[in-house]
Amino acid sequence: MGKGETMAGLDDFDWKKLCSCWERWHRGESREPMFNIAVTPPAGSVKCPHHYLSMYDFSIPAAEIFDEIEAYAAQCAYPGGAYPSVWLNFGPGVLAAMVGGEGHNGMDTVWFTPGKWSGMTPDRIHPRLDRSSPWFRRVEEFLLAARERNGRLHIGCTDLGGTLDVVNSLVPGEELLYALYDSPEEIRRLSGEIHEAWFEAFNYFGGIIPENHGFSTWDGTLSALPYYMLQCDFCYMISPEMFGEFVLPELRQSCKRLGRSFYHLDGKGELPHLPQLLEIEELGGVQWVPGAGGGTPLEWLDVYRAIAAANKKMWISLDGDFDGIARLIEAVGRPELFVIRGSVPAERETELRDFIDYFRR
């Protein structure tokens, strides 16, 4: 293995080369897809950290958990554009637990409820970022512990959530759907307050580690400029007209305030909103997820071709299907627009490297 792809440690990883590679892709100077696909060690050879960092008791020092994470990362290989990193996973939309809501750990999931806003109508809810929240302080603790690691791991931003999704955690279930009709001004106000709390948290967390090699979130896309994978899962339940009224304006603002952005388009119910998304000039790309029972990516060529026609980049999960991904990219015909994310076990490393070399040739 070459420099930056070592199984033995993290101190000699070539971050300068890696970051340069990602920036060329972002700027459209590369003719090949971007690959962030790590090779994981053989099962049982090293302890695998828990996917949700919130599952570790909050009394356990973050530094101890990082020791476990680093030990695992050091046994991975990082070909192509892959890199050693840890995503601070505290559940989707953790911002809700930082503005008065409450977070809950399940067996293998995390969700959020109104907390102190329980039972209140939208006009009585006034969310502000609460830096004394246990969830805020725990994310902060992890970032401060990571700062002492001398940049050996890149730290991906915690999943703050989509603005209206966070609103939905505070105004749960059908209540928010009714409120869109009954109290539209209050929902726009709530969205604006969550938007400001979101960027306050994002900017604060992003500034804790000066030497973080850029920005990323759960999707693993690395950027020298502030970056986020935006979303609004709630929009599955509303019309394009309501999307244009309650979601699109905030998305436009977020795209302008960030240096780079993608959008997480999750499920067939969100497809009616794609044309409006593609009209956002500052939006850099789209991650299309067909959802359960939605079939393979090859069954959605029209969606990928529409995204490519708008000259937006496309994020796609490998899911172990080298042949299917290759055929999809060839069918769309714009390999330079794709970023492919995933991991493979050590026994498939040769197959992965052949896959990457195929597109380089």
pLDDT tens sequence across 273-317: 999 999 999 999 999 999 878 888 899 999 999 999 999 999 999
Instruction: Tell me what pLDDT residue 70 has.
Output: 93
- Residue 1: which pLDDT band, with cuts at 50, 70 and 90? very low
- Find the mean pLDDT for residues 17-31: 96
E strands, 160-318, are 227-231, 260-266, 285-289, 313-317
Q: Are strands 102-105 and 260-266 parallel, antiparallel or unpaired?
A: unpaired
Instruction: Tell me what pLDDT residue 293 has.
Output: 80
Instruction: Tell me what pLDDT residue 275 has.
Output: 98
Average pLDDT of every residue of the chain: 94
Query: In a 3-state reduction of DSSP, which class is residue 137?
Result: helix
Q: pTM for the whole thing?
A: 0.94
Domain ranges of the chain: 15-360
> Higher-confidence residue: 82 or 293?
82
What's the topology of domain 15-360?
Answer: TIM Barrel (3.20.20)
- Find the mean pLDDT for residues 103-129: 95
Instruction: Tell me what pLDDT residue 11 has.
Output: 85
CA dist 128 and 196 (Å) reads 8
- Residue 9: which pLDDT band, with cuts at 50, 70 and 90? low
Query: In a 3-state reduction of DSSP, which class is residue 103?
Result: strand
pLDDT digits (tens, 9 = 90+) for 134-167: 999 999 999 999 999 888 999 999 999 999 999 9
- Quick check: 3 pLDDT over 80? no
pLDDT digits (tens, 9 = 90+) for 314-329: 999 998 899 999 999 9
Instruction: Tell me what pLDDT residue 360 has.
Output: 86
Write the DSSP assignment of 295-353 as a string of letters.
--GGGGHHHHHHHHHTT-EEEEE-TT-HHHHHHHHHHHT-GGGEEEEEEEEGGGHHHHH
Query: Tokens in use for 207?
Result: 């500034």
Backbone phi, psi, residue 16, to 5°: -60, -45
- On whether the CB atoms of residues 103 and 97 are closer than 8 A, the answer is yes
Instruction: Please count the other Cβ atoms lying within 10 Å of the Cβ belonging to residue 259.
Output: 16
For 14-37, letters b (16+ CB in 10 Å) and e give bbeebbebbbebbeeebebbbbbb
